[in-house]
Amino acid sequence: MQEQDLISTVIRPEVRALSAYKVADATGFIKLDAMENPYTWPEEIKQEWLKVVHDAEINRYPDPEAKSLCRILKQYNNIPEQSNLLLGNGSDEIIQLLLMALPANSRVMAPEPSFVMYKQIALCLGLDYQGLPLVANSFDLDLPALLESIKTQQPAIIFLAYPNNPTGNLFDTNAIKSIIENSQGLVILDEAYAPFTDASFIAELPNYKNLLVMRTVSKLGLAGLRLGFIAGNPEIIEQLNKVRLPYNINILTQCSAEFALSKPEMFQEQTNTLRNERARVFLQLSTLSGITPFPSSANFILFRTAKGKATETFAALKEKGILIKNLAPQQGLLSDCLRVTIGKPDENNAFINALKNTI
Ligand SMILES: *Cc1c(COP(=O)(O)O)cnc(C)c1O
């Protein structure tokens, strides 16, 4: 049999049409491309953690519901008593799980540009994905257009990243409420960048049956663990639980996350430093001619270079050992745009200096 015949026999056309999510090899670079927290733990905390790992019963299946971790996450994130939680192997897995539960041919909606996995997973599952453009330059929601699309297309689910990735802004609160109120389907507020903003829809959960809030520990400083959660209406969480694989949160993640979240002051200090650095990097970027940074409530900053200069600026930074994200190939509202993750002060300085010498 020809290889192509085999592929078309066993792989759905919508999957064949996709490209896999690619991650750049960052070996040897100052890594400012993936919204990771640059700080590791003090040695004494690592030693304490190793004792916890030492006692993990690796021969046993983990608690399938991760009850103890759920309690801690609920407390750490001020989740209302009446809301329930479902955990995922990263919030990426939760997006997949939400979409797998939808009726066949459902419509999935998200603003664009936004987090690419909404579209990637929707297409992969053969769902009807529709991206709705944000307003140019402000990157805010185009509310009239969104409400019109909701009315005519009746999406089963809408994803809103709050703050949005890759633009960094918070959408207007009243626009979001209006979307929730006018939607017959689910509205998912993806609060992956919660550690870097005080804005949140978690307190609104009891007010809306169709609102779910998703968070992750990745951007907080635990990207290697792969742990996310979604909170909201217990009746919906109960249904989603049927789609979830029984032991999706492994025992090392469960015990390590519990341990880490018992050190809130450590994360508070790290994220405060990153917030201050974000303000400093923003100011520095604003002074560079030909560079336009966009205000951010996350741990990264989107900025625009002079026309047609983004890809060469990205390459020149890479040549100088600094890896950021080139968004220019996505074109449209992201034409000439690059995204830099906020790192440690010396990493940020290296980035700013390299950029100065590049433009
Ligand atoms: C990074 C990111 C995620 C993915 O988080 P994981 O928990 O690491 O899978 C989800 N949503 C947005 C908007 C992100 O930027």
Q: Which atom of ligand 1 is nearest to the CA of 218?
A: 8
Same domain? 329 vs 296: yes
Same domain? 198 vs 236: yes
Judged against a pLDDT cut of 70, whether residue 222 lies above it is answered with yes
Q: Which atom of ligand 1 is nearest to the CA of 95?
A: 10
- Residue whose Cα lies nearest atom 1 of ligand 1: it is 192
Same domain? 63 vs 188: yes
Q: Which of 260, 281, 304 is the last residue of a domain?
A: 260
43 located within any domain? no
Asked whether the beta carbons of 258 and 73 are under 8 A apart, the reply is no
Q: What is the pLDDT of residue 23?
A: 86
**Which of 196, 212, 218, 327 maximizes ligand 1 atoms within 8 Å of its Cβ, making it the mutation to test the pocket?**
218
Q: Which atom of ligand 1 is nearest to the CA of 35?
A: 1
Instruction: Say which CATH number the domain at 298 has.
Output: 3.90.1150.10
Rounded Cα gap, residues 198 and 268, in angstroms: 12
The H or E element containing residue 232 is: strand 228-232
Q: Which atom of ligand 1 is nearest to the CA of 298?
A: 15
Q: Which atom of ligand 1 is nearest to the CA of 94?
A: 9
- Residue whose Cα lies nearest atom 5 of ligand 1: it is 91
Q: Give, in order, the Cα–Cα distances in Å from 226 to each of 11, 64, 132, 218.
A: 27, 16, 29, 7
Same domain? 92 vs 135: yes
Same domain? 154 vs 230: yes
Residue 51 C-alpha to ligand 1 middle, in angstroms? 29
Instruction: Say which CATH number the domain at 158 has.
Output: 3.40.640.10
- Confidence band for 20, pLDDT divided at 50, 70 and 90: confident
Residues within 6 Å of ligand 1 by CB: 35, 90-92, 115, 161, 165, 190, 192, 216, 218, 223, 228
- To which residue do tokens 């792989």 refer? 11
**Concatenated DSSP letters for 248-300?**
-S-HHHHHHHHHHTT-HHHHHHHHHHHHHHHHHHHHHHHHSTT-EEPP-SSSE
Judged against a pLDDT cut of 90, whether residue 29 lies above it is answered with yes
Same domain? 168 vs 269: no
Which is it for the CA torsion 297, 300, 306, 311, positive or negative?
A: negative
Please provide the average confidence, as pLDDT, over all residues in the chain: 97
104 located within any domain? yes
Same domain? 232 vs 284: no
Name the burial class of residue 339, with classes exposed (0-12), middle (13-18) and buried (19+) by CB atoms within 10 angstroms of its CB: buried
The number of distinct structural domains making up the chain is 2
Give pLDDT tens digits for 119-157: 999 999 999 999 999 999 999 999 999 999 999 999 999
282 located within any domain? yes
Q: Give, in order, the Cα–Cα distances in Å from 304 to each of 105, 283, 335, 350.
A: 37, 14, 8, 19
Does the N-terminal peptide bond of residue 113 adopt cis geometry, omega within 30 degrees of 0?
A: yes
Q: Which of 195, 225, 260 is the last residue of a domain?
A: 260
Q: What is the pLDDT of residue 4?
A: 73
Residues 35-44: what's their mean pLDDT? 97
Same domain? 254 vs 296: no
Residue 91 C-alpha to ligand 1 middle, in angstroms? 6
Residue 225 phi/psi, 5-degree rounding, is -75, -35
- Residue whose Cα lies nearest atom 15 of ligand 1: it is 165
DSSP SS3 for 158: strand
Judged against a pLDDT cut of 90, whether residue 281 lies above it is answered with yes
- Confidence band for 180, pLDDT divided at 50, 70 and 90: very high
Name the burial class of residue 144, with classes exposed (0-12), middle (13-18) and buried (19+) by CB atoms within 10 angstroms of its CB: exposed
Q: What is the pLDDT of residue 97?
A: 98
- Confidence band for 350, pLDDT divided at 50, 70 and 90: very high
Give pLDDT tens digits for 55-110: 999 999 999 999 999 999 999 999 999 999 999 999 999 999 999 999 999 999 99
Residues 26-31: what's their mean pLDDT? 94
How large a percentage of the chain has pLDDT more than 90?
Answer: 96
Q: Which of 231, 260, 289 is the last residue of a domain?
A: 260
- Residue whose Cα lies nearest atom 2 of ligand 1: it is 192
- In this structure, what token pair is assigned to residue 328? 């220019």
Q: Which atom of ligand 1 is nearest to the CA of 223?
A: 8
Which is it for the CA torsion 69, 70, 76, 81, positive or negative?
A: negative
pTM beyond 0.75: the answer is yes
Rounded Cα gap, residues 137 and 134, in angstroms: 9
- Confidence band for 1, pLDDT divided at 50, 70 and 90: low
Q: What is the pLDDT of residue 359?
A: 84
Same domain? 99 vs 83: yes
335 located within any domain? yes
Judged against a pLDDT cut of 90, whether residue 209 lies above it is answered with yes
Asked whether the beta carbons of 90 and 232 are under 8 A apart, the reply is no
- Confidence band for 22, pLDDT divided at 50, 70 and 90: confident
- Residue whose Cα lies nearest atom 11 of ligand 1: it is 192
Same domain? 88 vs 193: yes
Residue 57 C-alpha to ligand 1 middle, in angstroms? 29
- Residue whose Cα lies nearest atom 12 of ligand 1: it is 192
Q: Residue 228 carries which DSSP code?
A: E
Q: What is the pLDDT of residue 24?
A: 85
44 located within any domain? no
- The residue range of the domain holding 196 is 59-260
Same domain? 136 vs 160: yes
Same domain? 183 vs 319: no
